[in-house]
Amino acid sequence: MIDAGRVRANERFLLSFGHASVDLYQGVVPVLVPFLVAERHYDYLAVSGFVLAASLLSSVVQPLFGVLTDRWAMPWLVPAGTLAAGLGVALLGLTASYPLSLAAIALTGFGVAAYHPEAARLARAVTGGDHVAMSWFSLGGNAGFALAPVIATPVLAAGGLAAAPLLLVPALLGTLITLPLLGRRADGAAEEARGRDDWPAFRALSAVIVLRSIVYVGLSTFLGLFVQQRVQPGDTAGGAALFVLFAGGAAGTVLGGRLARRWGRVRTMRRAYGTSVFAVAGVALVPGPALYGFVAAAAIALYVPFSLHITLGQDYLPNRVGTASGVTLGLAVSVGGVLAPALGALADATSLHTTLAALTVLPALAWLLARRLREPAEVREPVR
């Protein structure tokens, strides 16, 4: 007799692994930059074009794919997006032309954008919208991004850009393990419950996600330098702080689903953003090694709502699940990266201390906006 619980657990693991295999390629693009400079002698402006192409396509185009998947069932975008993300990086190693290299990286960003709206809908069908299960799906993406330097750097260091085709392997694995799940998306599509789309709530939620994105990007960009100034000079102190930030984010992602089971999503989100106000303030104001504790608290608090944003967005727009997924997973999350230069300009004009202290305002605004949100009726897929 087949254990249904074990089957569901295996499906969720495969879905999380597939998410990791795609988001790994978002993390690979920055790893490629020093190799592009060293081997192909591109200047900083040229290599910035690669990062811009990947980030803009992977974020801005996602809502467009979401709109398409709301009109037509397109589960094939999950494996196709995975393959495209890996193929773009692989092709980069096979061409020395700058326009073709830029097109290859654009293909990676396009693949990432194509994957996420349908994958989030598939995750909803596989997990039934369960908060803990969705948090593991989100954790898979975060883990893939974080592991990119660990996987890609040794390959490129050993073989240079000519070894880039080897980095197609994670995409192939992610595609193979996701294919058996696509039938669940087709079954769920016919049974999606319909309700009224709550656009005011969705817009408020999107604003909350944008504010969170700016805070987290600001911390991840400047934390290493700030810790070197405030705690101890040298790369070790800054690297340790970033490790705490990323590890705390992983812990917060998983914790968020469990807290939502107990308190509900909106209440959990409000408490997380309220906590993050004090945690981010502690990062900016507390001297000495105690700062690391506030870094961990800030990371956990900022990531507790991460997976909850996805399911809330889907429930606020039950007739446009793909659009909701494209915005909450793509556009709103990536806005922080677009505004990173503005934070850098503020740091140049004042100081890193002032810039990080200013970030405290943003989670406070997110908390105020979250107070306007209500817990929607959860529109879940039946879990078989």
Q: Is the pLDDT of residue 73 over 50?
A: yes
Is 220 found in the same domain as 107?
Answer: no
Confidence of residue 6 (pLDDT cuts 50, 70, 90): low
- Specify whether 185 is located in the same domain as 206: no
Asked whether residue 240 is domain-assigned, the answer is yes
pLDDT tops 50 at residue 312: yes
Question: What mean pLDDT, rounded, does the chain reach?
Answer: 84
The pLDDT, as a whole number, for residue 194 is 62
Supply the pLDDT for residue 4: 55
Tell the residue number behind the tokens 């949100």, with chain if given. Answer: 373
Residue 153 confidence (pLDDT): 86
Number of domains in the chain: 2
Mapped onto helix, strand or coil, the DSSP state of residue 15 is helix
Q: What is the CATH number of the domain that holds 366?
A: 1.20.1250.20
Q: Burial level of 22, CB count in 10 A (0-12/13-18/19+)? A: buried
In a domain, 241, yes or no: yes
Both 211 and 266 in a single domain?
yes
Q: Print burial letters for 150-166: b (CB count within 10 Å at least 16), e (below 16).
A: ebbeebbeeeebebbbb
- Tell me the pLDDT tens digit for each residue of 323-347: 888 888 877 667 776 777 788 888 8
Do both 264 and 328 map to the same domain?
yes
**382 lies in some domain:** no
pLDDT bucket at 191, cuts 50 / 70 / 90: very low
**Residues 178 and 203 reside in one and the same domain:** no
% of the chain beyond a pLDDT of 90 = 34
> Residue 104 — pLDDT band, cuts 50, 70, 90?
very high
Out of 189, 210, 235, a domain closes at 189
> Three-state SS string across 324-356, please?
HHHHHHHHHHHHHHHCHHHHHHHHHHCCHHHHH
Residue 290 belongs to a domain: yes
**Whether the predicted model's global pTM rises above the 0.85 cut:** no
pLDDT tens, position by position, 252-308: 988 998 999 899 999 999 999 999 999 999 999 988 888 899 999 999 999 999 989
Whether residues 14 and 152 share a domain: the answer is yes
Q: Residue 9: which residues within 8 A CB-CB, separation 6 or more?
A: none
For residues 300 and 251, the answer to whether their CB atoms sit within 8 Å is yes
143-171 residue pLDDT tens = 888 888 888 888 988 999 999 999 999 99
222: its two tokens: 């400047």
The pLDDT value recorded for residue 171 is: 95
Instruction: Tell me if 376 is assigned to some domain.
Output: no
pLDDT of 383: 42
Specify the pLDDT at position 377.
66
pLDDT tens string 7-33:
567 778 888 899 999 988 988 887 887
| Nearest one of 357, 338, 313 to 217, comparing CA atoms | 338
Together in a domain, 46 and 184: yes
Indicate if the pLDDT at residue 89 is higher than 70. yes
pLDDT digits (tens, 9 = 90+) for 39-58: 888 876 777 777 777 777 77
Helix (H, G, I), strand (E, B) or coil at 74: coil
Q: Which domain holds residue 212?
A: 199-370
Residues 239 and 340 in one domain: yes
Query: Is 242 in the same domain as 172?
Result: no
Enter the tokens of residue 188.
């769920």
**Rounded distance, CA 139 to CA 137, Å?**
5
Which pLDDT score, from 0 to 100, does residue 333 have? 67
Q: Which of 189, 215, 245 is the last residue of a domain?
A: 189
Share of the chain above pLDDT 70, in %: 91
Residue 137, pLDDT > 90, answer no
Question: For residue 1, what pLDDT is reported?
Answer: 45
Q: Is residue 114 situated within a structural domain?
A: yes
Q: Give yes or no: residues 109 and 233 share one domain.
A: no
Q: In this structure, which amino acid lies at residue 349?
A: A
Statement: residue 208 has pLDDT above 50: yes
pLDDT given for residue 299 in this prediction? 92
Task: Name the most confidently modeled range: 86-90, 118-122, 231-235.
Answer: 86-90
Given 189, 218, 236, which residue is the final one in a domain?
Answer: 189
